[in-house]
């Protein structure tokens, strides 16, 4: 499937160690001809860390996509009524946002975008990146995996010896995972 002309939302949440790889994939999506609207959670748009400055990421997103990132809940809400995204990706998705999404909490622009998009019965793809995936968040991941219209970028343990509960998505599988989700399929194998 070609992504040329597809309207894709990319919502960044605060897994900052994943941003470098996420931005590599963001560029690939634009090169494929997709129209990409980025959205940032409050943490993602405001936290400076050893992985970089928040405003640099926001500026890079605009430069790469040519569209101003969505940074507020009021600016994310129209994603519902406008119904103009083919797919939305939480890329990366923190344990915090997974837990909130699974429990119907909508207190960041990324989660507002997810709620607004799901109301339109369209695919939401999740790229998990969290140290508690096999711990307290396992139940939430399981709940989301069995929810209509929700798909996952394949993921696995990244450091079983030192971080036994940590799991992270293979961000390089963004494009095939999007293509599958747009056809209503979970890209397999999902655990790898
Ligand atoms: C440097 C740094 C790295 C972080 N990395 C992660 C991470 O990889 N995964 C995660 O779930 N949370 C991570 N966090 C914690 C989240 O940023 C925090 O839970 C935040 O409230 C998430 O908000 P959001 O889900 O709305 O973006 C990190 C925090 C900092 C400061």
Q: What is the pLDDT of residues 166-189, one digit of tens each?
A: 999 999 999 999 999 999 999 999
- How far apart CA 141 and CA 122 sit, in angstroms, is 19
The reply to whether 190 falls in a domain is no
The DSSP letter of residue 151 is E
In sequence order, the β-bridge partners of residue 124 are: 88, 150
- In short, whether 177's Cβ falls inside 6 Å of ligand 1 is no
pLDDT at 1: 85
The reply to whether 79 falls in a domain is yes
The reply to whether 187 falls in a domain is no
pLDDT tens, position by position, 95-106: 999 999 999 999
Contact 113, 39 (CB under 8 A): yes
- In short, whether 96's Cβ falls inside 6 Å of ligand 1 is yes
**Interval 134-152 mean pLDDT:** 98
Find the 94 Cα to ligand 1 centroid distance in Å: 6
pLDDT at 17: 98
Indicate the number of domains in the chain.
Answer: 1
**Interval 4-11 mean pLDDT:** 98
Residue 186's closest CA among 157, 145, 156?
145
CATH number at residue 71: 3.40.50.1950
How many other C-beta atoms are found inside a 10 Å radius of the C-beta of residue 12? 31
In this structure, which residue's CA is closest to atom 14 in ligand 1?
Answer: 15
The reply to whether 46 falls in a domain is yes
The reply to whether 163 falls in a domain is yes
The reply to whether 188 falls in a domain is no
Q: Which domain holds residue 96?
A: 7-182
Q: How many CA atoms lie within 13 A of 112 on its CB side?
A: 19
Mean pLDDT estimate for the chain: 98
| Nearest-atom index, ligand 1, CA of 96 | 25
The reply to whether 143 falls in a domain is yes
- In short, whether 129's Cβ falls inside 6 Å of ligand 1 is yes
């Amino acid at each position: 499937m070609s992504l040329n002309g597809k309207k894709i939302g990319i919502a960044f949440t605060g897994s900052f160690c994943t941003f470098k790889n996420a931005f590599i994939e963001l560029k690939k999506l634009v090169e494929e001809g997709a129209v990409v609207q980025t959205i940032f959670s409050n943490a993602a748009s405001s936290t400076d860390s050893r992985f970089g400055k928040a405003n640099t990421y926001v500026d890079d997103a605009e430069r790469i996509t040519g569209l101003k990132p969505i940074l507020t809940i009021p600016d994310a809400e129209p994603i519902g009524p406008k119904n103009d995204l083919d797919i939305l990706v939480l890329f990366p998705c923190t344990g915090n946002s997974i837990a909130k999404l699974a429990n119907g909490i909508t207190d960041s622009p990324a989660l507002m975008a997810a709620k607004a998009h799901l109301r339109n019965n369209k695919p939401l793809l999740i790229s998990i990146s969290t140290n508690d995936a096999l711990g307290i968040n396992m139940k939430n991941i399981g709940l989301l995996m069995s929810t209509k219209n929700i798909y996952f970028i394949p993921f696995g343990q990244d450091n079983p010896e030192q971080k036994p509960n940590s799991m992270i998505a293979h961000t390089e599988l963004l494009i095939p995972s999007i293509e599958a989700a747009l056809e209503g399929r979970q890209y397999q194998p999902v655990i790898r």
